[in-house]
Amino acid sequence: MDDGFEIGFVMAGAISAGAYSAGVMDFITEALDAYEEACMTGFVTNGSRQEAWDGPTHRVRVPVIAGASAGGMTAAITSLCWFTDLTHVGPGEPPGPEANRLYASWVREIDIAPLLDPGGLDDGVLSVLNCAILDRIVENTLRAERRRRSRSWLGRGATRDVALIMTASNLRGVPYAFKLFGEDKDEFYGMLNHGDAMRFMVGSRPMDAPPDRVAGFFSLNTDELPLRGALDPSSRWFLLKQAALATGAFPIGLQARLLKRQFSDYQVNSPVEYQDEKGQRHTILPHVETPPAEYDFIAVDGGVIDNEPFEIARRYLAAGAGQNNRNAAQASKAMILVDPFPNHASLPQGPGREDLRLTSVVPHFLGTLVDQARFKPEELALAQNDRVFSRFAIVPSRPTRNDPTPKHPIACGILGGFGGFLHESFRRHDYLLGRRNAQAFLRWNFMLGESNPLFADFVRQRGDQARKWYVKQAPDGVRSIAPGEDAGAADALVFRSVEGQEQERAFPIIPLTPRMQTPIEIPAPDLPDPDAVDLAALGQRLRARLSAVTGALLRHDLPDIIDLGLIGLASSYPAQHYIAMLGKELALKTIRQGLGDLRAAFPRG
Protein backbone atom coordinates (compact mmCIF):
# COMPACT_ATOMS: atom_id res chain seq x y z
CA MET A 1 0.00 0.00 0.00
CA ASP A 2 1.34 3.41 -0.97
CA ASP A 3 1.61 5.57 2.14
CA GLY A 4 2.16 8.74 0.16
CA PHE A 5 4.23 11.11 2.28
CA GLU A 6 5.29 10.21 5.84
CA ILE A 7 5.85 12.84 8.52
CA GLY A 8 7.60 12.48 11.85
CA PHE A 9 7.31 15.20 14.48
CA VAL A 10 10.17 16.16 16.80
CA MET A 11 9.16 18.27 19.79
CA ALA A 12 12.10 20.13 21.33
CA GLY A 13 12.45 20.99 25.00
CA ALA A 14 10.30 23.96 25.93
CA ILE A 15 9.69 24.26 29.72
CA SER A 16 6.59 26.50 29.98
CA ALA A 17 6.74 27.21 26.24
CA GLY A 18 5.18 23.80 25.76
CA ALA A 19 2.08 25.97 25.30
CA TYR A 20 3.52 27.10 21.95
CA SER A 21 4.29 23.54 20.83
CA ALA A 22 0.80 22.44 21.88
CA GLY A 23 -0.73 25.20 19.75
CA VAL A 24 1.32 24.07 16.76
CA MET A 25 0.08 20.50 17.10
CA ASP A 26 -3.50 21.73 17.62
CA PHE A 27 -3.50 23.45 14.22
CA ILE A 28 -1.65 20.68 12.37
CA THR A 29 -4.16 18.13 13.68
CA GLU A 30 -7.04 20.32 12.52
CA ALA A 31 -5.41 20.84 9.11
CA LEU A 32 -4.83 17.10 8.60
CA ASP A 33 -8.42 16.34 9.61
CA ALA A 34 -9.76 18.94 7.16
CA TYR A 35 -7.54 17.63 4.35
CA GLU A 36 -8.57 14.04 5.08
CA GLU A 37 -12.26 15.01 4.93
CA ALA A 38 -11.75 16.88 1.65
CA CYS A 39 -10.03 13.87 0.07
CA MET A 40 -12.66 11.40 1.30
CA THR A 41 -15.81 13.43 0.51
CA GLY A 42 -14.62 15.56 -2.40
CA PHE A 43 -16.10 18.67 -0.77
CA VAL A 44 -14.93 21.46 1.54
CA THR A 45 -16.62 24.22 3.50
CA ASN A 46 -15.88 27.75 2.31
CA GLY A 47 -17.67 30.23 4.50
CA SER A 48 -21.36 29.28 4.46
CA ARG A 49 -21.26 27.14 1.32
CA GLN A 50 -19.99 23.76 0.23
CA GLU A 51 -17.54 23.58 -2.66
CA ALA A 52 -15.98 20.77 -4.64
CA TRP A 53 -12.41 20.02 -3.59
CA ASP A 54 -10.06 20.65 -6.50
CA GLY A 55 -6.78 20.30 -4.61
CA PRO A 56 -4.27 17.45 -4.31
CA THR A 57 -5.47 14.13 -2.89
CA HIS A 58 -2.21 12.32 -2.11
CA ARG A 59 -1.93 10.43 1.15
CA VAL A 60 -0.19 11.87 4.19
CA ARG A 61 0.72 9.64 7.14
CA VAL A 62 2.14 10.34 10.60
CA PRO A 63 3.84 7.23 12.02
CA VAL A 64 5.99 8.77 14.78
CA ILE A 65 6.17 11.65 17.22
CA ALA A 66 9.22 12.13 19.47
CA GLY A 67 10.02 14.71 22.08
CA ALA A 68 12.28 15.84 24.89
CA SER A 69 11.47 17.59 28.15
CA ALA A 70 8.27 19.63 27.80
CA GLY A 71 8.27 18.60 24.14
CA GLY A 72 8.09 14.97 25.23
CA MET A 73 5.14 15.73 27.48
CA THR A 74 3.43 17.52 24.58
CA ALA A 75 4.15 14.55 22.31
CA ALA A 76 2.53 12.17 24.80
CA ILE A 77 -0.62 14.29 25.16
CA THR A 78 -0.82 14.81 21.40
CA SER A 79 -0.56 11.09 20.67
CA LEU A 80 -3.56 10.41 22.93
CA CYS A 81 -5.58 13.31 21.48
CA TRP A 82 -5.11 11.83 18.01
CA PHE A 83 -7.46 8.98 18.93
CA THR A 84 -10.33 11.20 20.12
CA ASP A 85 -12.30 14.22 18.97
CA LEU A 86 -10.43 17.48 19.54
CA THR A 87 -12.13 20.85 19.94
CA HIS A 88 -9.77 23.43 18.49
CA VAL A 89 -8.85 26.82 19.93
CA GLY A 90 -9.44 30.31 18.62
CA PRO A 91 -10.04 33.81 20.02
CA GLY A 92 -12.81 34.01 22.59
CA GLU A 93 -13.96 31.32 24.98
CA PRO A 94 -11.49 28.44 25.46
CA PRO A 95 -12.66 24.82 25.17
CA GLY A 96 -13.54 22.81 28.25
CA PRO A 97 -10.83 20.81 30.02
CA GLU A 98 -11.90 17.50 28.45
CA ALA A 99 -12.57 18.93 24.97
CA ASN A 100 -8.90 19.75 24.33
CA ARG A 101 -6.31 18.25 26.64
CA LEU A 102 -3.47 20.06 24.87
CA TYR A 103 -4.98 23.42 25.78
CA ALA A 104 -6.15 22.37 29.23
CA SER A 105 -2.77 20.90 30.17
CA TRP A 106 -0.55 23.70 28.88
CA VAL A 107 -2.74 26.79 29.36
CA ARG A 108 -5.43 26.25 31.97
CA GLU A 109 -4.12 23.75 34.53
CA ILE A 110 -0.39 24.41 34.88
CA ASP A 111 0.38 27.52 36.94
CA ILE A 112 2.86 28.93 39.44
CA ALA A 113 0.44 28.75 42.39
CA PRO A 114 0.26 24.93 42.69
CA LEU A 115 3.96 24.65 41.82
CA LEU A 116 4.73 26.78 44.89
CA ASP A 117 2.35 24.96 47.21
CA PRO A 118 4.38 24.27 50.40
CA GLY A 119 3.06 20.72 50.79
CA GLY A 120 4.37 17.38 49.57
CA LEU A 121 7.50 17.36 51.73
CA ASP A 122 6.64 14.79 54.41
CA ASP A 123 9.13 12.28 53.02
CA GLY A 124 11.88 14.77 52.24
CA VAL A 125 12.66 17.09 49.36
CA LEU A 126 12.12 15.56 45.93
CA SER A 127 12.29 18.90 44.09
CA VAL A 128 12.22 22.62 44.75
CA LEU A 129 8.78 22.94 43.13
CA ASN A 130 5.69 20.96 44.10
CA CYS A 131 5.05 18.53 41.25
CA ALA A 132 1.66 17.22 42.37
CA ILE A 133 -0.05 19.39 39.74
CA LEU A 134 1.99 17.69 37.01
CA ASP A 135 0.80 14.25 38.15
CA ARG A 136 -2.79 15.51 38.11
CA ILE A 137 -2.44 16.95 34.60
CA VAL A 138 -1.26 13.62 33.18
CA GLU A 139 -3.94 11.70 35.05
CA ASN A 140 -6.61 14.16 33.89
CA THR A 141 -5.54 13.40 30.32
CA LEU A 142 -5.86 9.66 30.90
CA ARG A 143 -9.30 10.11 32.49
CA ALA A 144 -10.76 12.63 30.02
CA GLU A 145 -14.16 11.65 28.57
CA ARG A 146 -13.92 12.10 24.80
CA ARG A 147 -15.54 10.40 21.83
CA ARG A 148 -13.12 8.08 20.05
CA ARG A 149 -12.09 9.01 16.53
CA SER A 150 -10.32 7.08 13.79
CA ARG A 151 -7.88 9.04 11.63
CA SER A 152 -6.60 7.44 8.44
CA TRP A 153 -3.55 9.73 8.40
CA LEU A 154 -2.13 8.05 11.50
CA GLY A 155 0.33 5.17 11.41
CA ARG A 156 2.09 3.32 8.65
CA GLY A 157 0.89 0.71 6.17
CA ALA A 158 -2.24 -1.09 7.33
CA THR A 159 -1.86 0.02 10.96
CA ARG A 160 -3.09 3.18 12.66
CA ASP A 161 -0.55 2.95 15.48
CA VAL A 162 1.71 5.88 16.31
CA ALA A 163 5.19 5.47 17.75
CA LEU A 164 5.65 7.79 20.74
CA ILE A 165 9.27 8.27 21.81
CA MET A 166 10.34 10.40 24.79
CA THR A 167 13.95 11.01 25.75
CA ALA A 168 15.17 10.68 29.33
CA SER A 169 18.45 11.30 31.12
CA ASN A 170 19.22 7.96 32.76
CA LEU A 171 21.12 8.56 36.01
CA ARG A 172 22.06 4.87 36.32
CA GLY A 173 23.47 4.54 32.83
CA VAL A 174 23.92 1.63 30.42
CA PRO A 175 27.45 0.23 29.91
CA TYR A 176 29.07 0.02 26.49
CA ALA A 177 32.58 -1.14 25.61
CA PHE A 178 34.90 -0.83 22.62
CA LYS A 179 37.86 -3.05 21.77
CA LEU A 180 41.25 -1.41 22.23
CA PHE A 181 43.26 -2.06 19.09
CA GLY A 182 47.03 -2.30 19.33
CA GLU A 183 46.91 -4.01 22.72
CA ASP A 184 48.10 -7.59 23.27
CA LYS A 185 45.26 -8.34 25.65
CA ASP A 186 41.59 -8.51 24.80
CA GLU A 187 40.81 -5.35 26.67
CA PHE A 188 37.87 -3.02 26.21
CA TYR A 189 37.41 0.66 26.78
CA GLY A 190 34.21 1.02 28.79
CA MET A 191 31.82 3.91 29.25
CA LEU A 192 28.27 4.58 30.44
CA ASN A 193 25.57 5.98 28.19
CA HIS A 194 23.05 8.16 30.04
CA GLY A 195 21.05 9.25 27.00
CA ASP A 196 17.91 7.12 27.06
CA ALA A 197 14.44 7.02 25.53
CA MET A 198 11.12 5.40 26.41
CA ARG A 199 9.17 4.02 23.46
CA PHE A 200 5.43 3.41 23.24
CA MET A 201 3.20 2.20 20.40
CA VAL A 202 -0.12 4.03 20.78
CA GLY A 203 -3.16 2.68 18.95
CA SER A 204 -6.80 1.61 19.01
CA ARG A 205 -7.55 -2.11 18.96
CA PRO A 206 -10.53 -4.39 19.70
CA MET A 207 -10.58 -5.44 23.34
CA ASP A 208 -10.61 -9.15 22.36
CA ALA A 209 -7.34 -8.73 20.48
CA PRO A 210 -4.82 -7.28 22.95
CA PRO A 211 -1.61 -6.10 21.28
CA ASP A 212 1.55 -8.09 21.39
CA ARG A 213 4.50 -6.11 22.64
CA VAL A 214 6.21 -4.56 19.63
CA ALA A 215 9.94 -5.17 19.97
CA GLY A 216 11.40 -2.40 22.08
CA PHE A 217 8.03 -0.63 22.51
CA PHE A 218 5.32 -0.69 25.16
CA SER A 219 1.97 -1.06 23.37
CA LEU A 220 -0.90 1.11 24.60
CA ASN A 221 -4.51 0.37 23.66
CA THR A 222 -6.42 3.67 23.60
CA ASP A 223 -9.71 1.73 23.70
CA GLU A 224 -8.95 1.32 27.41
CA LEU A 225 -9.38 5.06 27.92
CA PRO A 226 -10.69 6.87 29.87
CA LEU A 227 -9.18 5.18 32.90
CA ARG A 228 -11.11 4.75 36.13
CA GLY A 229 -9.84 4.60 39.69
CA ALA A 230 -6.24 4.68 40.84
CA LEU A 231 -3.50 3.92 38.34
CA ASP A 232 -1.98 0.46 38.75
CA PRO A 233 1.79 0.99 39.29
CA SER A 234 2.47 -2.16 37.26
CA SER A 235 0.41 -1.01 34.26
CA ARG A 236 1.73 0.45 31.02
CA TRP A 237 -0.43 3.55 31.53
CA PHE A 238 1.40 4.21 34.79
CA LEU A 239 4.70 3.77 32.95
CA LEU A 240 3.51 6.25 30.30
CA LYS A 241 2.69 8.74 33.04
CA GLN A 242 6.10 8.28 34.67
CA ALA A 243 7.93 8.55 31.35
CA ALA A 244 6.06 11.75 30.40
CA LEU A 245 6.88 13.30 33.76
CA ALA A 246 10.48 12.06 33.66
CA THR A 247 11.27 13.61 30.29
CA GLY A 248 10.11 16.98 31.66
CA ALA A 249 11.77 16.67 35.08
CA PHE A 250 14.04 19.71 34.88
CA PRO A 251 16.84 18.93 37.37
CA ILE A 252 16.42 20.29 40.90
CA GLY A 253 13.29 22.25 39.99
CA LEU A 254 11.09 19.27 39.13
CA GLN A 255 10.91 15.77 40.58
CA ALA A 256 12.97 12.89 39.15
CA ARG A 257 11.06 9.70 38.31
CA LEU A 258 11.67 5.96 38.61
CA LEU A 259 11.32 4.07 35.32
CA LYS A 260 11.30 0.32 34.70
CA ARG A 261 11.75 -1.65 31.50
CA GLN A 262 13.13 -4.88 30.07
CA PHE A 263 16.88 -4.74 29.56
CA SER A 264 16.39 -6.45 26.20
CA ASP A 265 14.94 -3.14 24.95
CA TYR A 266 18.51 -1.86 24.65
CA GLN A 267 19.44 -4.79 22.44
CA VAL A 268 16.52 -4.08 20.09
CA ASN A 269 16.74 -0.29 20.05
CA SER A 270 20.31 0.50 21.03
CA PRO A 271 20.91 4.26 20.76
CA VAL A 272 24.61 3.74 20.03
CA GLU A 273 25.70 3.33 16.43
CA TYR A 274 28.42 4.46 14.05
CA GLN A 275 28.79 4.97 10.31
CA ASP A 276 31.67 3.28 8.48
CA GLU A 277 33.69 4.59 5.54
CA LYS A 278 31.10 3.13 3.12
CA GLY A 279 28.26 5.01 4.77
CA GLN A 280 26.82 1.87 6.38
CA ARG A 281 25.44 2.23 9.90
CA HIS A 282 26.31 -0.32 12.58
CA THR A 283 24.59 -0.72 15.94
CA ILE A 284 26.62 -1.33 19.10
CA LEU A 285 24.92 -3.37 21.83
CA PRO A 286 25.35 -2.83 25.60
CA HIS A 287 28.35 -4.57 27.16
CA VAL A 288 26.85 -6.68 29.96
CA GLU A 289 27.99 -10.26 30.57
CA THR A 290 24.73 -11.36 32.20
CA PRO A 291 21.97 -8.92 31.28
CA PRO A 292 19.18 -8.65 33.86
CA ALA A 293 15.62 -9.38 32.79
CA GLU A 294 14.35 -6.10 34.19
CA TYR A 295 16.15 -2.80 34.51
CA ASP A 296 15.08 0.20 36.55
CA PHE A 297 16.63 3.66 36.76
CA ILE A 298 16.09 7.18 38.02
CA ALA A 299 15.36 9.56 35.15
CA VAL A 300 15.43 13.33 34.82
CA ASP A 301 14.84 15.81 32.00
CA GLY A 302 15.49 14.21 28.62
CA GLY A 303 16.48 17.59 27.23
CA VAL A 304 19.62 17.68 29.37
CA ILE A 305 21.24 15.14 27.02
CA ASP A 306 19.06 15.13 23.89
CA ASN A 307 16.88 18.21 23.57
CA GLU A 308 15.94 17.73 19.89
CA PRO A 309 15.71 13.96 19.30
CA PHE A 310 16.12 14.19 15.53
CA GLU A 311 18.14 11.01 15.19
CA ILE A 312 15.70 8.87 17.17
CA ALA A 313 12.78 10.00 15.01
CA ARG A 314 14.83 9.76 11.81
CA ARG A 315 15.80 6.16 12.45
CA TYR A 316 12.18 5.16 12.99
CA LEU A 317 10.93 7.14 10.00
CA ALA A 318 13.64 5.74 7.70
CA ALA A 319 12.52 2.19 8.61
CA GLY A 320 15.93 0.69 7.89
CA ALA A 321 16.56 2.73 4.73
CA GLY A 322 19.56 4.48 6.30
CA GLN A 323 18.79 8.01 5.09
CA ASN A 324 15.63 9.75 3.96
CA ASN A 325 15.83 11.27 0.47
CA ARG A 326 16.50 15.00 0.81
CA ASN A 327 15.71 16.17 -2.71
CA ALA A 328 12.56 18.19 -3.41
CA ALA A 329 11.86 16.08 -6.48
CA GLN A 330 12.19 12.69 -4.72
CA ALA A 331 11.60 13.13 -0.96
CA SER A 332 8.90 10.87 0.48
CA LYS A 333 9.46 11.39 4.19
CA ALA A 334 10.26 14.36 6.39
CA MET A 335 10.73 15.30 10.00
CA ILE A 336 9.26 18.51 11.39
CA LEU A 337 11.02 20.05 14.38
CA VAL A 338 8.83 22.20 16.64
CA ASP A 339 11.23 24.36 18.65
CA PRO A 340 10.02 27.26 20.83
CA PHE A 341 13.64 28.22 21.54
CA PRO A 342 15.52 28.10 18.22
CA ASN A 343 18.63 29.67 19.81
CA HIS A 344 19.25 32.69 17.61
CA ALA A 345 22.41 33.24 19.61
CA SER A 346 24.65 36.27 19.83
CA LEU A 347 28.00 36.57 21.61
CA PRO A 348 27.30 36.54 25.37
CA GLN A 349 28.47 39.45 27.46
CA GLY A 350 31.97 39.09 28.86
CA PRO A 351 32.38 38.00 32.50
CA GLY A 352 33.07 40.29 35.41
CA ARG A 353 34.80 39.55 38.71
CA GLU A 354 31.45 38.81 40.34
CA ASP A 355 30.95 35.97 37.83
CA LEU A 356 33.74 34.04 39.58
CA ARG A 357 31.57 33.65 42.66
CA LEU A 358 30.03 30.26 43.33
CA THR A 359 26.54 31.79 43.30
CA SER A 360 27.19 32.82 39.69
CA VAL A 361 29.18 29.79 38.51
CA VAL A 362 26.57 27.18 39.55
CA PRO A 363 23.59 28.59 37.58
CA HIS A 364 25.83 29.39 34.62
CA PHE A 365 27.18 25.83 34.69
CA LEU A 366 23.66 24.36 34.62
CA GLY A 367 22.76 26.70 31.77
CA THR A 368 25.90 25.63 29.92
CA LEU A 369 24.88 21.97 30.12
CA VAL A 370 21.44 22.74 28.71
CA ASP A 371 22.86 24.95 25.94
CA GLN A 372 25.35 22.27 24.95
CA ALA A 373 22.58 19.65 24.79
CA ARG A 374 20.80 21.91 22.31
CA PHE A 375 23.94 22.49 20.24
CA LYS A 376 23.49 20.25 17.20
CA PRO A 377 24.72 22.39 14.32
CA GLU A 378 24.66 19.65 11.68
CA GLU A 379 21.10 18.51 12.40
CA LEU A 380 19.67 21.99 12.87
CA ALA A 381 21.43 23.24 9.74
CA LEU A 382 19.65 20.56 7.73
CA ALA A 383 16.29 21.71 9.10
CA GLN A 384 17.05 25.30 8.02
CA ASN A 385 18.60 24.40 4.64
CA ASP A 386 16.23 25.45 1.84
CA ARG A 387 17.65 22.67 -0.37
CA VAL A 388 16.84 19.88 2.10
CA PHE A 389 13.26 18.59 2.02
CA SER A 390 13.49 15.79 4.57
CA ARG A 391 13.75 18.14 7.56
CA PHE A 392 11.72 21.22 8.40
CA ALA A 393 11.36 23.46 11.45
CA ILE A 394 8.57 25.50 13.01
CA VAL A 395 9.85 28.26 15.30
CA PRO A 396 8.16 31.27 16.93
CA SER A 397 7.69 34.29 14.71
CA ARG A 398 5.45 37.32 15.07
CA PRO A 399 5.40 40.85 13.65
CA THR A 400 5.88 43.73 16.07
CA ARG A 401 5.70 47.47 15.76
CA ASN A 402 8.99 48.12 17.52
CA ASP A 403 11.30 45.39 16.25
CA PRO A 404 10.89 42.93 13.37
CA THR A 405 12.93 40.37 15.34
CA PRO A 406 11.79 40.79 18.95
CA LYS A 407 13.86 39.46 21.81
CA HIS A 408 10.85 37.51 23.09
CA PRO A 409 8.71 36.29 20.19
CA ILE A 410 6.92 34.13 22.74
CA ALA A 411 5.72 35.32 26.13
CA CYS A 412 6.88 32.15 27.88
CA GLY A 413 10.47 32.84 26.81
CA ILE A 414 11.30 35.06 29.78
CA LEU A 415 13.07 33.68 32.87
CA GLY A 416 14.85 31.04 30.82
CA GLY A 417 11.55 29.52 29.70
CA PHE A 418 9.91 29.39 33.14
CA GLY A 419 8.08 32.70 32.63
CA GLY A 420 4.96 31.12 31.21
CA PHE A 421 4.07 29.67 34.60
CA LEU A 422 3.51 33.18 35.98
CA HIS A 423 0.22 33.91 34.21
CA GLU A 424 -2.32 32.20 31.97
CA SER A 425 -2.32 35.09 29.49
CA PHE A 426 1.32 34.31 28.63
CA ARG A 427 0.50 30.69 27.84
CA ARG A 428 -2.70 31.46 25.92
CA HIS A 429 -0.90 33.93 23.67
CA ASP A 430 1.82 31.42 22.89
CA TYR A 431 -0.73 28.68 22.18
CA LEU A 432 -2.48 30.94 19.66
CA LEU A 433 0.87 31.98 18.19
CA GLY A 434 1.71 28.31 17.73
CA ARG A 435 -1.48 27.85 15.72
CA ARG A 436 -0.71 30.94 13.64
CA ASN A 437 2.88 29.88 12.93
CA ALA A 438 1.77 26.34 12.04
CA GLN A 439 -0.69 27.76 9.52
CA ALA A 440 2.02 29.91 7.93
CA PHE A 441 4.42 26.96 7.84
CA LEU A 442 1.97 24.65 6.06
CA ARG A 443 0.96 27.37 3.61
CA TRP A 444 4.32 28.90 2.70
CA ASN A 445 7.07 26.44 3.65
CA PHE A 446 6.01 22.79 3.80
CA MET A 447 6.27 21.84 0.12
CA LEU A 448 7.90 19.62 -2.49
CA GLY A 449 8.85 20.16 -6.12
CA GLU A 450 6.03 19.73 -8.64
CA SER A 451 7.91 16.86 -10.32
CA ASN A 452 7.85 14.80 -7.12
CA PRO A 453 5.99 11.50 -7.72
CA LEU A 454 3.69 12.41 -4.82
CA PHE A 455 1.83 14.81 -7.12
CA ALA A 456 1.90 12.74 -10.34
CA ASP A 457 -1.77 11.68 -10.21
CA PHE A 458 -2.91 15.17 -9.28
CA VAL A 459 -1.03 16.83 -12.15
CA ARG A 460 -2.22 14.19 -14.63
CA GLN A 461 -5.87 14.53 -13.57
CA ARG A 462 -6.03 18.31 -13.21
CA GLY A 463 -3.72 19.37 -16.00
CA ASP A 464 -3.27 23.14 -16.14
CA GLN A 465 -5.80 23.54 -13.32
CA ALA A 466 -3.21 22.11 -10.94
CA ARG A 467 -1.23 25.34 -11.22
CA LYS A 468 -3.80 26.99 -8.96
CA TRP A 469 -2.18 25.04 -6.11
CA TYR A 470 1.37 26.20 -6.62
CA VAL A 471 2.82 27.45 -3.34
CA LYS A 472 3.28 31.22 -3.41
CA GLN A 473 6.13 33.26 -2.04
CA ALA A 474 5.23 34.44 1.44
CA PRO A 475 4.28 38.14 1.40
CA ASP A 476 6.85 40.30 3.17
CA GLY A 477 5.81 40.98 6.73
CA VAL A 478 2.49 39.14 6.36
CA ARG A 479 2.14 35.48 7.28
CA SER A 480 -1.64 35.07 7.65
CA ILE A 481 -3.85 36.20 4.77
CA ALA A 482 -7.27 35.21 3.47
CA PRO A 483 -7.77 32.59 0.73
CA GLY A 484 -7.17 34.05 -2.70
CA GLU A 485 -5.35 37.17 -1.48
CA ASP A 486 -2.06 35.65 -2.61
CA ALA A 487 -3.28 35.15 -6.20
CA GLY A 488 -1.00 37.89 -7.49
CA ALA A 489 2.05 36.73 -5.55
CA ALA A 490 4.96 35.08 -7.35
CA ASP A 491 5.21 31.30 -7.30
CA ALA A 492 7.74 29.85 -4.88
CA LEU A 493 10.69 28.07 -6.49
CA VAL A 494 12.64 25.17 -4.99
CA PHE A 495 15.86 23.44 -6.00
CA ARG A 496 15.02 20.00 -7.37
CA SER A 497 18.06 18.45 -5.66
CA VAL A 498 20.46 19.29 -2.85
CA GLU A 499 23.45 19.65 -5.17
CA GLY A 500 21.90 20.79 -8.46
CA GLN A 501 20.94 24.25 -9.69
CA GLU A 502 17.68 23.41 -11.48
CA GLN A 503 14.59 24.95 -9.90
CA GLU A 504 10.88 24.26 -10.20
CA ARG A 505 7.56 25.29 -8.71
CA ALA A 506 6.15 23.46 -5.71
CA PHE A 507 2.93 22.01 -4.30
CA PRO A 508 1.98 21.86 -0.59
CA ILE A 509 2.50 18.60 1.28
CA ILE A 510 -0.53 19.28 3.51
CA PRO A 511 -2.87 21.42 1.39
CA LEU A 512 -4.98 23.82 3.44
CA THR A 513 -8.71 23.89 2.78
CA PRO A 514 -10.32 27.36 2.49
CA ARG A 515 -11.45 27.24 6.11
CA MET A 516 -7.93 26.41 7.28
CA GLN A 517 -6.57 29.41 5.34
CA THR A 518 -8.74 31.84 7.31
CA PRO A 519 -6.36 34.41 8.87
CA ILE A 520 -5.43 33.72 12.46
CA GLU A 521 -5.21 36.98 14.36
CA ILE A 522 -4.30 37.41 18.01
CA PRO A 523 -6.50 40.24 19.33
CA ALA A 524 -5.52 42.57 22.17
CA PRO A 525 -7.42 40.58 24.85
CA ASP A 526 -5.26 37.55 24.01
CA LEU A 527 -1.92 39.35 24.35
CA PRO A 528 0.22 38.59 27.41
CA ASP A 529 -0.51 40.87 30.35
CA PRO A 530 2.58 41.18 32.58
CA ASP A 531 0.78 43.71 34.81
CA ALA A 532 -1.69 40.98 35.80
CA VAL A 533 1.03 39.13 37.73
CA ASP A 534 0.39 39.71 41.45
CA LEU A 535 3.95 40.15 42.71
CA ALA A 536 2.89 40.48 46.35
CA ALA A 537 1.02 37.17 46.31
CA LEU A 538 3.83 35.59 44.30
CA GLY A 539 6.35 36.75 46.89
CA GLN A 540 4.33 35.15 49.68
CA ARG A 541 4.12 31.86 47.79
CA LEU A 542 7.84 31.92 47.05
CA ARG A 543 8.70 32.50 50.68
CA ALA A 544 6.32 29.79 51.90
CA ARG A 545 7.63 27.19 49.47
CA LEU A 546 11.30 28.02 50.02
CA SER A 547 10.81 27.97 53.78
CA ALA A 548 9.09 24.60 53.59
CA VAL A 549 11.80 23.16 51.32
CA THR A 550 14.61 24.44 53.57
CA GLY A 551 12.89 23.06 56.66
CA ALA A 552 12.38 19.67 55.05
CA LEU A 553 16.04 19.56 54.03
CA LEU A 554 17.09 20.24 57.61
CA ARG A 555 14.68 17.67 59.06
CA HIS A 556 14.90 14.81 56.56
CA ASP A 557 17.83 15.10 54.20
CA LEU A 558 20.71 16.48 56.29
CA PRO A 559 20.41 14.67 59.65
CA ASP A 560 24.08 13.65 59.72
CA ILE A 561 25.32 17.13 58.90
CA ILE A 562 23.18 19.33 61.11
CA ASP A 563 22.81 18.57 64.81
CA LEU A 564 19.07 18.84 65.50
CA GLY A 565 19.41 19.10 69.23
CA LEU A 566 18.33 22.25 71.08
CA ILE A 567 21.26 24.21 69.66
CA GLY A 568 20.58 22.84 66.19
CA LEU A 569 16.88 23.71 66.35
CA ALA A 570 17.65 27.20 67.59
CA SER A 571 20.05 27.82 64.72
CA SER A 572 18.15 26.01 61.96
CA TYR A 573 14.83 27.84 62.48
CA PRO A 574 16.17 31.35 61.76
CA ALA A 575 18.40 29.94 59.01
CA GLN A 576 15.36 28.38 57.36
CA HIS A 577 13.50 31.68 57.21
CA TYR A 578 16.56 33.72 56.27
CA ILE A 579 17.20 31.45 53.28
CA ALA A 580 13.54 31.66 52.30
CA MET A 581 13.54 35.46 52.50
CA LEU A 582 16.80 35.76 50.55
CA GLY A 583 15.60 33.34 47.88
CA LYS A 584 12.31 35.20 47.55
CA GLU A 585 14.01 38.56 47.02
CA LEU A 586 16.47 37.17 44.47
CA ALA A 587 13.65 35.47 42.59
CA LEU A 588 11.45 38.57 42.59
CA LYS A 589 14.33 40.69 41.30
CA THR A 590 14.77 38.34 38.35
CA ILE A 591 11.01 38.13 37.77
CA ARG A 592 10.61 41.92 37.72
CA GLN A 593 13.35 42.16 35.11
CA GLY A 594 11.68 39.46 33.01
CA LEU A 595 8.30 41.17 33.21
CA GLY A 596 9.95 44.41 32.13
CA ASP A 597 11.40 42.66 29.08
CA LEU A 598 7.95 41.30 28.31
CA ARG A 599 6.34 44.74 28.49
CA ALA A 600 8.90 46.03 26.01
CA ALA A 601 8.32 43.08 23.67
CA PHE A 602 4.51 43.36 23.86
CA PRO A 603 3.68 47.08 24.10
CA ARG A 604 0.02 47.93 24.64
CA GLY A 605 -1.90 50.87 23.26
What positions carry a catalytic annotation? 69, 301
Q: Are 66 and 9 in contact (CB under 8 A)?
A: yes
Residue 59's alpha-carbon distances to 71, 152, 153, 154, in angstroms, are 26, 9, 7, 11
Q: What whole-number distance in Å separates Cα of residue 268 and Cα of residue 283?
A: 10
Strands (E), 204-329: 218-221, 257-262, 273-275, 281-283, 294-301
Q: What whole-number distance in Å separates Cα of residue 570 and Cα of residue 482?
A: 69
Q: Which residues pair with 262 in a beta bridge?
A: 294
- The Cα diameter of the chain in Å comes to 90
Q: What whole-number distance in Å separates Cα of residue 461 and Cα of residue 459?
A: 6
Phi and psi torsions of 294, nearest 5°: -115, 155
Q: What whole-number distance in Å separates Cα of residue 446 and Cα of residue 436?
A: 14
Q: What whole-number distance in Å separates Cα of residue 541 and Cα of residue 114?
A: 9
Phi and psi torsions of 359, nearest 5°: -65, -20
For the chain, helix (H) and strand (E) counts, in that order, are: 14, 16
CA-closest candidate to residue 21, choices 77, 86, 71: 71
Written as one letter, the residue type at 490 is: A
Q: What whole-number distance in Å separates Cα of residue 590 and Cα of residue 329?
A: 50
Q: Are 177 and 270 in contact (CB under 8 A)?
A: no
Positive or negative torsion for Cα 481, 517, 91, 18: negative
